[in-house]
């Protein structure tokens, strides 16, 4: 293919109202693909957009074009060839900035390509003009119409007559006969008249042929223009087909990525199911352990109650022991008093016995 898409985006397409030159008229009901195309054979950059099979944008980028951002998400440019102004509405500021950046880049590339082609034309035209002989640069004459010289059709041209007359003139010079000279010049004059008539007829015929050729050329030009438009439409359709194929490839890649992600999610889901099953086993163990813990806690409470009872009993016994000790201590004190009294009584009785 001569043209290939080099950048694509999606936007809502508008054209300026040809009557008011103020209002925007939408050319697409929804966002469509807008693509930059490059024709490597002609070094031409174009902006093309299709709504179905209808080309709603077919703009060739020239160095004189300017892309203007009129808002945060809207931009426009004027196409003098199409005699209209195109407008694009984007869904984000980044898409508008990227499209404007590409427009400036391809505009500069178009300018460089134009300058290069002009230099090539100048270099190719300069030596060709110097090498063309002077008679070929002269306007079209009847002698060269249709690529055939009239000397081939009418061999008795003045050049041939002069070529034949020159030796005869040389032969007549020694004779010095004026009558022969007159006859010779009369013959030359008649030959020139005949050649003039032939040339006039050939010129008229060539003029008629030129008119016919002009008509045929006009028909050929119309046919060529029609074919060029058809080729342009086919290029637009083929370019859009390429864009669709690239989008289809991207979608296939996206589907493959989503399938891989889905497979990974399914594997993760299986792993989570296993973890849930193991968690259920742990839950059962936890419940059994909870029951055992409750039993242990109830037994612990019973043991604590028994321990409290034993502590109370021990405390009671300790109190009883303290009371017993106090009683025993008072009894011992009483016993000590009695023993002291008995000792004193014994001493007194001993003294009495000694004194008696």
Mean pLDDT over the full length of the chain: 79
pLDDT value of residue 69: 93
Say if strands 54-60 and 44-51 run parallel, antiparallel, or are unpaired: antiparallel
pLDDT value of residue 237: 65
pLDDT value of residue 177: 61
298-to-124, 132, 301, 304, 311 alpha-carbon distances in Å: 111, 123, 5, 10, 19
pLDDT value of residue 158: 39
Say if strands 32-39 and 84-89 run parallel, antiparallel, or are unpaired: unpaired
pLDDT value of residue 208: 76
Please identify which residue in the block is written with the tokens 């006969």.
177
- Give 293 or 180, the one with higher predicted confidence: 293
Say if strands 32-39 and 24-26 run parallel, antiparallel, or are unpaired: unpaired
Query: Is residue 225's pLDDT more than 70?
Result: yes
pLDDT value of residue 198: 81
Handedness of CA 104, 43, 88, 251 (dihedral sign): negative
pLDDT value of residue 48: 93
Cβ contacts of residue 151 below 8 Å, gap of 6+? 143, 157, 159, 160
Q: Residue by residue, what is the 3-state secondary structure of 271-310?
A: HHHHHHHHHHHHHHHHHHHHHHHHHHHHHHHHHHHHHHHH
26 near 56, Cβ under 8 Å?
no
Q: Give pLDDT tens digits for 49-107.
A: 998 888 899 999 998 899 999 999 999 999 988 889 999 999 999 999 999 999 999 99
Q: Give pLDDT tens digits for 4-29.
A: 888 999 999 999 988 888 889 999 88
pLDDT value of residue 10: 94
Can you list the domains of the chain with their CATH numbers?
Answer: 5-118 (2.30.29.30)
Query: Is residue 249's pLDDT more than 80?
Result: no
pLDDT value of residue 129: 44
**SS3 label, residue 137:** coil
| Mean local confidence (pLDDT), 139-148 | 38
Q: Give pLDDT tens digits for 177-199.
A: 677 778 788 888 888 888 888 88
């Amino acid at each position: 293919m001569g043209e290939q898409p080099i950048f694509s985006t999606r936007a809502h397409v508008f054209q300026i109202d040809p009557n008011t030159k103020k209002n925007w008229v939408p050319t697409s009901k929804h966002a469509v693909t807008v693509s930059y195309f490059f024709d490597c054979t002609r070094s031409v950059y174009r902006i093309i957009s299709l709504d179905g099979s209808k080309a709603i944008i077919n703009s060739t980028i020239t160095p004189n074009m300017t892309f203007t951002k009129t808002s945060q998400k809207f931009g426009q440019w004027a196409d003098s060839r199409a005699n209209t102004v195109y407008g694009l509405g984007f869904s984000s500021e980044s898409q508008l900035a990227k499209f404007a950046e590409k427009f400036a880049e391809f505009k500069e590339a178009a300018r460089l390509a134009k300058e290069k082609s002009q230099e090539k034309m100048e270099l190719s035209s300069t030596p060709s003009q110097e090498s063309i002989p002077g008679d070929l640069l002269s306007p079209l004459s009847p002698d060269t119409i249709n690529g055939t010289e009239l000397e081939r059709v009418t061999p008795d041209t003045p050049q041939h007559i002069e070529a034949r007359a020159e030796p005869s003139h040389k032969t007549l010079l020694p004779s010095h006969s004026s009558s022969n000279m007159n006859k010779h010049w009369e013959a030359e004059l008649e030959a020139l008249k005949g050649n003039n008539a032939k040339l006039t007829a050939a010129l008229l015929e060539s003029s008629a042929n030129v008119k016919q050729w002009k008509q045929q050329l006009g028909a050929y030009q119309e046919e060529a223009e029609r074919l060029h438009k058809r080729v342009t439409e086919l290029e637009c359709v083929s370019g859009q087909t390429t864009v669709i194929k690239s989008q289809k490839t991207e979608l296939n890649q996206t589907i493959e990525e989503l399938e891989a992600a889905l497979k990974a999610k399914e594997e993760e889901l299986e792993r989570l199911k296993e973890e849930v099953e193991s968690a259920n086993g742990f839950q059962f163990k936890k419940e059994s352990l909870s029951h055992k813990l409750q039993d242990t806690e109830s037994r612990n409470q019973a043991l604590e109650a028994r321990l409290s009872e034993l502590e109370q009993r021990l405390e009671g016994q300790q109190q009883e022991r303290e009371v017993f000790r106090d009683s025993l201590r008072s009894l011992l004190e009483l016993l000590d008093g009695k023993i002291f009294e008995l000792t004193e009584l014994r001493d007194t009785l001993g003294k009495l016995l000694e004194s008696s």
